[in-house]
Chain A
Amino acid sequence: MSSKSEKIMARIGVYAFLVIAAAFFLMPFYVMIVTSLKTMDEIRVTSIFAVPSAPTLEAWITAWQSACTGLKCNGLSVGFLNSVLIMVPATVLSILLGAVTGYALSFWRPRGAGIIFGVLIVAAFIPYQVFIYPLVRMLSQVGLYNSLAGIVAIHVIFGMPIMVLLFRNYYAGLPRDLFSAARVDGGGFWVIFVRLILPLSPPILIVAVILQSTHIWNDFLFGLVFAGSDNQPMTVLLNNIVNSTQGEKAYNVNMAATILTAAVPLIIYLASGRWFVRGIAAGAVKG
């Protein structure tokens, strides 16, 4: 018995585990897709694993255009637009704020930088729910409650701890001499940030975009509480479709609506998985 055959056995074990794990996570997705392509009649009589006999996109069209979300019956399309309007500014703003703060904390080290950073990290561990009532009061005081600007501001604020942590740790890994050289060369706070630090940041910017865009897109609670009925994001509408019970449950429409809502983060993950893992590792180890 050589170590070679032992190695092959180990390999087989590893692959077996990976295949089973992948199947475990893919099976529900498979069920969702086949169910969304069936008619309600077919769903009632066949197994949930059965391939649709006559695939139809009717449920998808209903989910997008005409499913009822409470009183209105306009489908998810309105929510998609709202989600985009919330996600894009909130992602951009929270990343910019996080990058500038992380840059200031790791290079300029203002008095009390350690305390500021500590408070941010602690804040990241406090459950969101604790903040909701005071925030509702505060936002309504300044007239931002139930508005697009309000929900964007909420996402930016709650994104700060993780964004600052991410950027501070990435910048801590850059050589400090580089910053010193730029100061001797005549750079001020913003000039060094824009001309030296930002051009070195793409790896971590990609990670930040992935983290924030998926996180904001997936948010349900803040959207429900702060966005107001005109700006409800896709997740809130999805909940309304799935949970509004008038007659029978339209499983095919529910499945289609869920896949539609999950499509954006899913595509972001699939397209950027490589950078995502790399950036998470970079952000986690250094610092």
Chain B
Amino acid sequence: MAEVSIENLDIQFGSVSVLKDLNLLIEDGEFIVLLGSSGCGKSTLLNAVAGLIDVTGGKIRIAGEDKTDAEPKDRGIGMVFQSYALYPQTTVEGNLSFGLRMANMPKDEIQRRIARVSKMLQIEPYLKRRPAALSGGQRQRVAIGRALVRDADIYLFDEPLSNLDAKLRAELRVELKELHQTIGKTMIYVTHDQVEAMTLATRIAVMQNGVIQQLASPEDIYERPANLFVAGFVGSPGMNFFSGRLRAEAGKTVFAIQGGPEIDVTDYAFAAPLGQGGEAVLGLRPEHLFVEAGNLPLRLPFTVSVSESMGADSVLWGTTAGQKASVRFGSELKLNPPRGTEMELGFSPATLSLFDAKSGVRL
């Protein structure tokens, strides 16, 4: 019911165009994550949905109604901010009830809502405290509670976990996911943290320069990135890119790595039939390259320069035919090859990605 439809949205600040002709349809109950680095327009988009900034052109529909110029309070939204934005002059209870009191809601209904939400978020012990007397995690819980008491159809999150330390961030991330599963409301979540995006989202919109580069499930974003930007932005360490030439010959399709071996990519699922071939980029995730090649059909040479252990995983950094590459493998392999070691890596054609070298678009 509460789907959000963004149509041909344009936003300009003075002469600077932040969002241009942006379209996005968010289904009821979805958890959409807007992912991108700072300045990509993700927060601008969220603020436009909230009604906190003026739209230059286009429409925003919420639950089918045109809300492009509606006041924030009339959009049926609740919002959580990165800086928590708790009202410092009043208690937690005062923060939760602020909006409800402004809407002249009866006292017993306010009490009922506060009781329900504070129980759900386990903030009952702090109701009489002021925000200044709370820790970061508690403050963000209160901020989430303040959004929830509004009983909105859509919840907006603007980098809500970015001010927390790593451990709390992981805890609250899980709580947010549980919360979404419990209440089942539409959620739009802005972050630059790809782990949050991958774990929370039903769909991710990867943004750059005010344009949605790819809108897909976390699995699709990771396995089948739509272009070089998405491929490089998501994943840590980032995807390996090898430039070279693609050509068709005698019923086979071959990718020749610049200064390196030729790889048979006939089994690759091309988005469109390959014509002449040409300059292209081969993308491979570090964990899809295997130190023990076994019976994998495709091979790459690799020269080790540095080895890093990250606990459960280890990463080897080095070069393939003079181009930078990394390999990720389980630490139980207990591999620590010295600098300069030559090895052969195996991979499967199902895991590779091919991009047009000029446009960056997935082939």
Chain A residues engaging chain B, CB cutoff 8 angstroms = 175, 177-178, 180-188, 191, 195-196, 199-200
Contacts and interface: CB of A to CB of B under 8 A. Distances in A.
B146 interface: yes
A200 B90 CA distance: 10
B73 A184 contact: yes
A185 B83 contact: no
B52 interface: yes
A232 to B, nearest CB: 42
A82 B134 CA distance: 50
Interface of B: 47, 50-52, 71-73, 77-79, 81-89, 98-99, 102-103, 146-147, 150
Given A200-B88, A200-B89, A184 B103 contact: no
A181 B86 CA distance: 8
Given A199-B89, A200-B89, A186 B73 contact: yes
Contact of A180 (B79, B86, B102, B147): B79
Given A183-B52, A184-B79, A185-B73, A178 B99 contact: no
B53 to A, nearest CB: 10
29 contacts: A175-B85, A177-B81, A177-B85, A180-B52, A180-B72, A180-B81, A181-B81, A181-B86, A181-B146, A182-B87, A182-B98, A183-B52, A183-B73, A184-B50, A184-B72, A184-B73, A184-B77, A184-B79, A184-B150, A185-B99, A186-B73, A186-B99, A186-B102, A187-B73, A195-B102, A196-B87, A196-B89, A200-B88, A200-B89
Can you list the 9 inter-chain pairs with the closest CB atoms, starting with the nearest?
A185-B99, A177-B85, A186-B73, A177-B81, A181-B85, A199-B89, A186-B102, A183-B72, A184-B79
Contacts of B89: 196, 199-200
A184 to B, nearest CB: 5
A63 B88 CA distance: 50
Q: Is the interface of A mostly helix, strand, loop or mixed?
A: helix
A186 B74 CA distance: 8
Given A184-B79, A185-B99, 11 more contacts: A177-B83, A181-B81, A182-B98, A184-B52, A184-B72, A184-B99, A185-B73, A185-B146, A185-B150, A187-B102, A195-B98
B287 to A, nearest CB: 38
A178 B102 contact: no
A183 B147 CA distance: 12
A175 B143 CA distance: 15
A182 to B, nearest CB: 7
A184 B52 CA distance: 8
| Most B-side CB within 10 Å, residue of A181, A187, A199 | A181
A187 B51 CA distance: 13
B346 to A, nearest CB: 50
